[in-house]
Structure 1
Amino acid sequence: MTELAGFTRRAAETRLPTRYGDFNAVGYQDPTSAHEHMALVYGDVKKGRDPLTRVHSECLTGDVFASTRCECGDQLAAAMKAIVAEGAGILIYLQGHEGRGIGLLAKLKAMRLQEEGLDTVDANVALGLPVDCRDYQAAADILQDLGVPAVRLLSNNPDKVESLKRYGISISEQVPLLIEVNDENLPYLKAKRERLDHHLPQLDDIL
């Protein structure tokens, strides 16, 4: 078991065949939060240019139940496909990030407030919760454990880029991960662009 600078520990490793390709699944434990994270590694990520990497926040409603209110499940699938098409890359799946860190039950309450007219930012505030309380120390620890100090990051979120940089990860390129807009996710994506500065150019012809 390997202990990393931020205390995240490698705890398990196995081959994980998926519908997209065969990955090496590496499990990690964070004793400071009791969260369990996983890195899916495809191909040789230490060879060639900086590996295509997705740092994905846990989203039960999107990733498991295929909610169309957010783009999370579609982003997860698109990232795995892109990594396989690239020939090498990493997907880090972070527990404890549900609802931008507020937790599942609070997220469901926030979603109900969104049905009543609030956007995703104001709904969190109305519940007395942070707009975004995610931390990416564990992701940086995992990348360091994997021997990857620099990545091409699949993300539309500038805060994620800056957070990883603060933890010592070099971002050589920010690669857009754009998902098709539908009637259900349009308000959410609009708020992410206008309130959280996400790069979402697919909205240009709609809004």
Structure 2
Amino acid sequence: MNIIQSNIANLPTKHGKFRIKAYKQDNQEHLAIMSENFEELESPYVRIHSECLTGDTLGSLKCDCQNQLNLALDFISKQGGLVIYHRQEGRNIGLLNKVNAYCLQDQGRNTIEANIELGFGEDDRDYSVVKYIFNDLDIKKIKLITNNPKKIDYVENLGIEIVKRIPAITKTNIYNEHYLKTKKDQMGHML
């Protein structure tokens, strides 16, 4: 695995003060966003947040991504820990295909059906860079902020001890109810 990494820099935000490090794997660049006290923590809070440009940046109401990211950044700035910003847009189908999936969702498909109709799997993310980041930052045990059972399984299969799971529950709205129901009923998310 060929990964290039940056130095660590300071990142003051509206959520608090962080330190940031970038990792480049092939054509994708990922971030480790650490609280200022991160290196002092034996079992930091960790959120593996999958990129969602439409939610995280544009504030789309079709998902709960921006709310989950804000919740994690606020929480970690106070409690200490790490957000891994995993840049695999649309469960790794890319932005163009994600917009095509949105179009299919507008026609009645759910998030899984849309991805499959476009020729992708339910979830095509590759977490190998997450393993690299855990190793690079010498992380052995964490408190994982997630609703996704596949992320729990993945982290446990890496040999990382999950001391505690913290739900990332946010408010629903009329635009994301169907999306969240699909994630709960068909993907096993703990909502």
Shorter-chain TM-score: what band? over 0.9
Higher mean Cα deviation, 147-156 or 61-70? 147-156
Compute the displacement of 1:12 (Å).
Answer: 2.8
The percent of aligned pairs where both chains have the same amino acid is: 37
After superposition, what is the alpha-carbon deviation per residue over 1:136-188, rounded to whole angstroms, capped at 9, x for unaligned?
Answer: 11112112211211111110000011112223322222110001010001000
For residue 75 of structure 1, what is the aligned residue in structure 2? 68
User: Aligned residue pairs: how many?
Assistant: 191
For residue 133 of structure 1, what is the aligned residue in structure 2? 124
Q: Secondary structure at the match of 1:9?
A: strand
CA RMSD of aligned residues (A): 1.3
Compute the displacement of 1:64 (Å).
Answer: 0.5
Higher mean Cα deviation, 42-51 or 183-192? 42-51
- State TM-score, norm by structure 1: 0.88
After superposition, what is the alpha-carbon deviation per residue over 1:57-103, rounded to whole angstroms, capped at 9, x for unaligned?
Answer: 111100110000000011111100011121x11011112x1111111
For residue 52 of structure 2, what is the aligned residue in structure 1? 59
For residue 27 of structure 1, what is the aligned residue in structure 2? 22
Gaps of 5+ in 2: none
* Conservation of the 8 A alpha-carbon contact between 2:32 and 2:83: yes
Compute the displacement of 1:48 (Å).
Answer: 4.5
After superposition, what is the alpha-carbon deviation per residue over 1:183-203, rounded to whole angstroms, capped at 9, x for unaligned?
Answer: 001000000000100000xxx
Gaps of 5+ in 1: 1-5, 201-207
**Among 84, 88, 92, the residue aligned to 1:92:** 84
For residue 205 of structure 1, what is the aligned residue in structure 2? none
After superposition, what is the alpha-carbon deviation per residue over 1:23-74, rounded to whole angstroms, capped at 9, x for unaligned?
Answer: 00111121xx221111111033343551001111111100110000000011
Paired amino acid for 1:63? D
